[in-house]
Amino acid sequence: MSVTASPAPPARTDLPRLRRPGPTRLYHLARQLADRTDLWRPHVRFAHESRWSVRVAVTSDYEAWLLTWLPGQGTHWHDHGGSGGAFVVLQGTLVDLIDLALVGKQLHWSIVGPQFRALHLQLDELVDSWRALSDDVAERAVAIGEFPDGQADAVAAGEELRKVQRGPIEDDAVVRELARRIAEAAERARARMDRLGALDGASQDVLTDVVRELEKQLWMVRAQLK
Q: What is the DSSP annotation of 101-151?
A: HHHHHHHHHHEESTTHHHHHHHHHHHHHHHHHHHHHHHHHHHHTT-----S
Domains of the chain (ranges plus CATH)? 2-68 (no CATH), 81-222 (1.20.1260.10)
Distance CA 55, CA 208 (A): 37
Tens of pLDDT along the chain (226 residues) come to 444 443 333 444 578 777 666 666 777 788 888 888 888 888 888 887 777 778 888 776 677 888 887 876 655 544 445 566 788 889 899 999 999 999 999 999 999 999 999 999 999 999 999 999 999 999 998 888 778 888 888 888 765 667 888 999 999 999 999 999 999 999 999 999 998 887 888 889 999 999 999 999 999 999 999 7
Q: pTM surpassing 0.75? A: no
